[in-house]
Chains A and B, each alone.
Chain A
Amino acid sequence: MRYIQDCEIVAHDLVAPDHWRMRLRSADIARAAQPGQFCMVEVVETLYPFLRRPMCLSEIHDDGFTLLYKVEGEGTQLLSRRVPGQTCSIQGPLGNGFPIAPEVERHIIVSGGIGVAAFPALARALADACGRPPEVVLAARTRDLLLCADLFRSMGCTVHLATDDGSAGEKAYAAQMLERLAPGPGTRVYACGPMIMMSTTAAVAARAGASCLVSLEAQMACGDGACLGCVVESKVEREGEKMVRVCVDGPVFDAAIIDWEAHNTAYDL
Chain B
Amino acid sequence: MTCDTATLAVNLGGLRMKNPVTVASGTFGYGEEFDRYFDVSLLGAVTTKSISLKPRAGNKPPRLVETPAGLLNAIGLQNVGIERFLSQKVPYLRKRNATIIANIYGYSPEEYAELARRLEAEGAADAIEANLSCPNVHDARTAKGAVLVSQSCEAITVYTRAIREATRLPLYIKLTPNVMNIQEPALAAEAAGADGVCLINTLLGMAINPETRKPRLANIVGGLSGPAIRPVAVKMVWDAARVLRIPIIGTGGISGAASAIEFLLAGATAVSVGSMSFRRPDIALRIVEGIAEYLKRHRIADVNQLIGAMQA
Q: Which of A220-236 contact B (CB under 8 A)?
A: 220-222, 224-233
Q: In the assembled complex, how far is the CB of residue A225 from the closest CB belonging to chain B, in whole angstroms?
A: 5
Interfacial residues of chain A within 238-269, with CB under 8 A of chain B in the complex? 239-243, 262-263, 266-269
Residue in contact with B61 in the complex, picked from A2, A221, A231, CB distance below 8 Å: A231
Contact between A221 and B209 (Cβ–Cβ < 8 Å)? no
Question: Which residue of B is nearest A240, CB measured?
Answer: B55
A228 & B58 in contact (Cβ 8 Å cutoff)? yes
Cβ contact within 8 Å between B63 and A229? yes
Q: Which of A4, A42, A220, A243 contacts B281 (CB under 8 A)? A: A4
Least distance between A96 CB and chain B CB atoms (Å): 15
Verify B277–A231 contact, CB threshold 8 A: no
Give the CA-CA distance A75 to B255 in the complex, in Å: 19
Q: Are B75 and A91 closer than 8 Å at their CB atoms?
A: no
Interface residues of B in 200-235 (CB under 8 A from A): 209, 212, 214-218, 226-227
Q: Taking CB as reference atom, which chain A residue is nearest B66?
A: A51
Contacts of A75 in B (CB 8 A): 66
Count B-side interface residues using an 8 Å CB cutoff. Answer: 45
Tell me if B279 is interfacial: C-beta within 8 Å of chain A: yes
The reply to whether A219 and B62 contact each other, CB–CB distance below 8 Å, is yes
Does B84 contact A243, Cβ atoms closer than 8 Å?
no
Contact present for B69 and A219 (CB under 8 Å):
no
From B75, which residue of chain A is reached at the shortest CB distance? A228
B29 at the interface (CB under 8 A from A): yes
Interface of A (DSSP majority class): loop
A219 to B209, CA, bound (A): 15
Tell which of B58, B78, B280 touches A4, judged by Cβ atoms closer than 8 Å: B280
Are A47 and B27 in contact (CB-based, < 8 A)?
A: no
For residue A14, which residues in chain B have a CB less than 8 angstroms away from its CB? none
Binds A, one of B11-19, B31-39, B292-300: B31-39
**A239-B84, A269-B215 known; A42 vs B33 contact (CB < 8 Å):** no
Assuming the contacts A4-B281, A50-B70, A51-B278, asked whether A243 and B29 have C-beta atoms less than 8 A apart, the reply is no
- B residues near A42, Cβ cutoff 8 Å: 279
Does A221 contact B281, Cβ atoms closer than 8 Å?
no
* Docked complex: A106-164 residues within 8 A CB-CB of B: none
A50 touches B71 (CB 8 A): yes
Say yes or no: A266-B62 contact (C-beta < 8 A), given A4-B37, A241-B55: yes
Report how far A48 CA is from B71 CA in the complex, Å.
10
Q: Which residues A27-84 have CB closer than 8 A to chain B?
A: 42, 47-52, 75
Inter-subunit contact A231/B281 (CB<8 Å): no
**Known contacts A48-B68, A228-B58, A269 near B280 by CB under 8 Å:** no
* With A228-B63, A228-B78 as contacts: A50 and B279 at CB distance below 8 Å: yes
13 pairs, A vs B, C-beta closer than 8 Å:
A47-B226, A48-B68, A50-B71, A51-B71, A226-B33, A226-B278, A228-B78, A231-B78, A232-B61, A239-B80, A263-B61, A268-B214, A269-B216
- For the complex of A and B, 10 pairs with smallest distance between CB atoms: A226-B29, A229-B64, A221-B278, A269-B214, A222-B278, A48-B69, A226-B33, A47-B227, A225-B33, A229-B63
